[in-house]
Amino acid sequence: MKALDELTFDNRFARLGDAFSTHVLPEPIAAPRLVVASPAAMALLDLDPAVAETPVFAELFGGHKLWAEAEPRAMVYSGHQFGSYNPQLGDGRGLLLGEVYNDAGEHWDLHLKGAGQTPYSRMGDGRAVLRSSIREFLASEALHALNIPTTRALCVIGSDTPVWREKQERAAMVLRLAPSHVRFGHFEFFYYTKRPEQQKELGQHVLAMHFPHCLEQTEPYLAMFREIVERNAELIAKWQAYGFCHGVMNTDNMSILGITFDFGPFAFLDDFDAHFICNHSDDQGRYSFSNQVPIGQWNLSALAQALTPFISVEALRETLGLYLPLFQAHYLDLMRRRLGFTTAEDDDQKLLEHLLQLMQNSGVDYSLFFRRLGDESPELAVTRLRDDFVDIKGFDEWGELYIARVAREGVIDQAQRRKRMHAVNPRYILRNYLAQKAIDAAESGDYSEVRRLHAVLSNPFEEQPGMESYAERPPEWGKHLEISCSS
């Protein structure tokens, strides 16, 4: 394990120069202190978890100190926000401190969010607040534990620095990790500003650093785009399967690597609602839960437009056509496993859609239903779950079809079935009300609940003694929390 001063930097993106990013130093926050750290994320950098408790740790990730080898840069990009093109965005409150490679040869961006003003802050103060930093930290690590591709979060550093949003709050910084912070919006920026040389340089950088195998293909850019389509189809299938709502799927929030990126007003479904809108600023429901699938395709189309200097329109259109079939295949495979099926049948899609409609009409808790479905034999589970449904007759009809479907798989060992289903159906998810309780305590100076919740969510599929309250259905007030882009 390494100490903080033993990290090895290789700042590849910074070497692209000033056309791609601007050198900016982080602005320190007052009285920096550790709120929470992720030992699993620290392990990606070969860091000893004990260093998180040292003063220098909070000073480094609170903007007071900097490695000599770090080259903090604010990246420039553009993007489509709620469907409208914004010509220049960029890191308005984040800084790419540098790129570190670990003993396994993996490169990780160190990206400090809430680091102060940059040339791209526009009218903002460049700060993040404690609540949004905690939410991003918890979501990053919770999604990773659910096997959903995501940025990772190393730590949250709190402070005494006041910031104003709807009310006065305290500034915080979150350090996130990713193999790359290049977004769809990076390619859009150079395309729409008509800078073909820089766009090609960006493309060559992304290919060499993140898709080197595509360089062996006859058309490297097309091979890269195809992989981006494939990764995003799988990512959004996992979002839908686990009831995750991103909330702000602007193209500047879409990673070129197909990982969950830039957390804002996200939420996991409590009661199943296909039309759920987690961002109360999203008046038209553009980024509702069910819309995430077509919006994923829309965003890929926006990226395709920016790649037309390198790829023919016909090839781009053909590759985009892969998205929906790939999404459907990944999604149905995941949902079959969540239902306990080990084989595929033609009517599985119809059986699933029937169930989701019944859940929608009755406001059934999405995560708890699937977890409980695997607790007992199909017959007993269906009998116990029927009381959650208003349309009991309709659920009974579904239950008969489900039991018959399971029976067609042959002799089933219930212990093995339970183990298999519990391995894909989490006992614990990051519900908004759990995050809010942790935030309320942290804003009062008590970080124990944030740390406890993080520990629980880091092992979501296993029963954890004494943690039953984290697996309960939320109270009524917890279902109606309003989350916005404000941070």
Does residue 226 contact residue 319 with C-beta atoms inside 8 Å? yes
Q: Are strands 107-113 and 94-101 parallel, antiparallel or unpaired?
A: antiparallel
User: Whose structure tokens read 């002799």?
Assistant: 411
- Rounded to 5 degrees, φ, ψ at 157 are -110, 125
Q: In 10 A of CB 446, how many CB atoms?
A: 11
Residue 458: closest CA among 105, 185, 137: 137
Does residue 281 contact residue 484 with C-beta atoms inside 8 Å? yes
Residue 320: closest CA among 336, 297, 339, 340: 297
Q: Strand, helix or coil at 350?
A: helix
User: Whose structure tokens read 């009062």?
Assistant: 444
Query: Catalytic: which of 46, 91, 109, 252?
Result: 252
Does residue 362 contact residue 394 with C-beta atoms inside 8 Å? no
Give the tokens for residue 431: 């519900």
Residue 187: closest CA among 92, 302, 319, 337: 302
Number of residues that make up the chain: 487
Does residue 174 contact residue 63 with C-beta atoms inside 8 Å? no
Determine the number of helices (DSSP H) and then strands (DSSP E) in the chain: 16, 13
Measure the CA–CA gap between 29 and 63, rounded to whole angstroms: 7
Q: Which residues contact 89 (CB under 8 A, 6 or more apart)?
A: 76, 77, 78, 79, 81, 120, 185, 252
The residues with which 95 forms a beta bridge, in sequence order, are: 112
283 in active site: no
Counting Cα atoms < 13 Å in the Cβ hemisphere of 42 gives 18
Name the maximum alpha-carbon separation found in the chain. 68
Q: Is 477 exposed, middle or buried (0-12, 13-18, 19+ CB in 10 A)?
A: exposed
List the Cα angle 85/91/92 in 5-degree steps.
90
Residue 394: closest CA among 360, 443, 365: 360
Q: Strand, helix or coil at 264?
A: coil
Measure the CA–CA gap between 121 and 111, rounded to whole angstroms: 16
Give the tokens for residue 423: 């391995």
The set of catalytic residues is 252
